[in-house]
Every structure is written in C-alpha cells, then in structure tokens.
Structure 1
Amino acid sequence: MADPVEVHVSLPSGTHRVGTLHRAPSRGRETVSFEYHEGWLANEERFALEPALAVGKGRFYPDQECEMFGAIGDSAPDPWGR
C-alpha cells in the first residue's frame, strides 16, 4: 500500500492541513480516497476543495470515470510543466 499524502492549503492566515489522500493498488491501477482532517473541519476558514469533496467527515471517492479528484490532480506534478 502506498503512503498517504497530506494535503495542505496556504491562506493569508497560514498553511493549514486540509486532509489526507489515501492511495491503494487495485487491479494494476491505483485507487484513491480523501478524508478531511479534524482540524480543517473545525477551522472557521474551511471550504470544500471541489464540489465532489463536500466538507464533512468520512472518506470520499472520485467518480468511477475519474482516477483522481480534479482539485488534487491539478496540483500534482505532470510532464506538461517540464
């Protein structure tokens, strides 16, 4: 199983841990889920990273057509920027 990835946001008030991206191998691919951090859920500045990740407790999974959440995938390294 792959190590979890901490997700943070930088706001004028500072850097905040938003949650954790969990990764797991599945049938030759990688599946992901996301869980908001308790500190982010209690933060007055909290917001949803995208509509598919409404602020709340529990794990969220991308739609079957998607391998990754758009907001998180867009921030990941890729060959386009090289």
Structure 2
Amino acid sequence: MTDIEVHLDRRGVPMRVGTLRRTPRRGGETVVFEYHPDGLADPDGFSLEPALAIGPGPFVPAAGQSFFGSIGDSAPDTWGRRVMQRAERRRAEIEGRPIRTLSGRPGGP
C-alpha cells in the first residue's frame, strides 16, 4: 500500500487536506481517499469534487472509475512523467543506486 498526502495551497500556505491510499491488486490497483482531520476542521474547507463530499470516512471512486477526477487531473501528463523519469535516472547515477520506478495514475508508467 502507498499513502500519498494530498495538499492544497491555501492563501500561500500548503495545507494537508487528505490521504490517497493506493493498493496494488491483480490487473491494477484500488484507491481510497480520506480527508485529514486538519482539512475537516478548516472552516474554509470544501470538497475536492462532488464524489468527495467533505466529511469523515474513506471514499472510493464511482463505479466504473479507477481514480478521482480532481486528483488524477493534477497528476503529471506524459511529458511531465518523462521529465521526472529522466531526473530520477540522473539522480540514481550520481548517487550510485538503482533507479526507482516512478508510478503515475493508472495507465501511467
């Protein structure tokens, strides 16, 4: 399982609003999102999208969807992933370590 912290820039300050949990499974992965207590306590808090109505508890994508639109839309596109992969290869070479696999949203490298 991989936990990814989800942050928003609120008035120039990064604020943690939740956690996205990715769990590999045969043929893909499952994702679950949960709002962080700080995000729930923020009086100016808002839902990230209709499928993620602000409130406690885990949220899963709608039937037939593999990801949440608002979170998936913020992921790097093909070019962005390529730039990140090149940077990782350079860092690994400089540090003398194996290249780490960069993981994007489903369907990504």
TM-score by shorter chain over 0.5: yes
Q: State the TM-score, normalizing by the size of structure 1.
A: 0.90
Higher RCO (Cα < 8 Å, 6 or more apart): 1
Name the count of aligned residue pairs: 81
Residue 5 of structure 1 aligns with an amino acid whose one-letter code is I
Correspondences of 1:4-23 after superposition (within 5 Å)? 4-12=3-11, 14-23=13-22
- Corresponding residue SS for 1:41: helix
Q: Which has the higher helix share?
A: 2
Correspondences of 1:12-51 after superposition (within 5 Å)? 12=11, 14-51=13-50
- Corresponding residue SS for 1:4: strand
Instruction: Measure the CA separation in 2 of the matches of 1:47 and 1:13.
Output: 17
> Where does the alignment leave 5 or more consecutive residues of structure 2 unmatched?
83-109
1:63 and 2:65 matched: no
**Post-superposition offset of 1:64:** 2.1
Q: Which moved more, 1:8-17 or 1:28-37?
A: 8-17
Larger Rg: 2
* Identity level (%): 56
Structure 1 stretches of 4+ with a deviation exceeding 2 A read: none
